[in-house]
Structure 1
Amino acid sequence: MKKIRKVYSEILKKKNEGNTAIAILSLFTIILIGLFGMFILFHQVLVSRAEGVQDDVTLSNLATYKNIDQQALAINNSDLRITDIEGAFETFKQYLQKNMKLDSNMNGLSGSIADGTVTIKEFTIYNVKENDVEIFTYSDNTHIFVRNEVKDKNTDVVKTVNNAIVKNTTVHATIQYNIDLMFGNKKEVTTSVGTDLVKN
Structure 2
Amino acid sequence: MSKDIRIQRLSGKALIQYIPELARLRIEVFKDFPYLYDGDYQYEEKYLQTYINCPESVIVLAFDGDAIIGASTAIPLKYETDEVKKPFIENGYNPDEVFYCGESVLNKAYRGLGVGVRFFEQREAHAEDLGGFKHITFCCVERPADHPRRPVDYVPLDTFWNKRGYVKHPELTTTYTWKDLDEAFESAKPMTFWLKEEHA
TM-score if structure 2 supplies the norm length? Answer: 0.20
> Which one has more relative contact order, counting CA pairs under 8 Å at least 6 apart?
2
The structure carrying a bigger strand percent of its residues is 2
Computing the radius of gyration over CA atoms, which structure comes out larger, 1 or 2? 1
The structure carrying a bigger helix percent of its residues is 1
TM-score if structure 1 supplies the norm length? Answer: 0.20
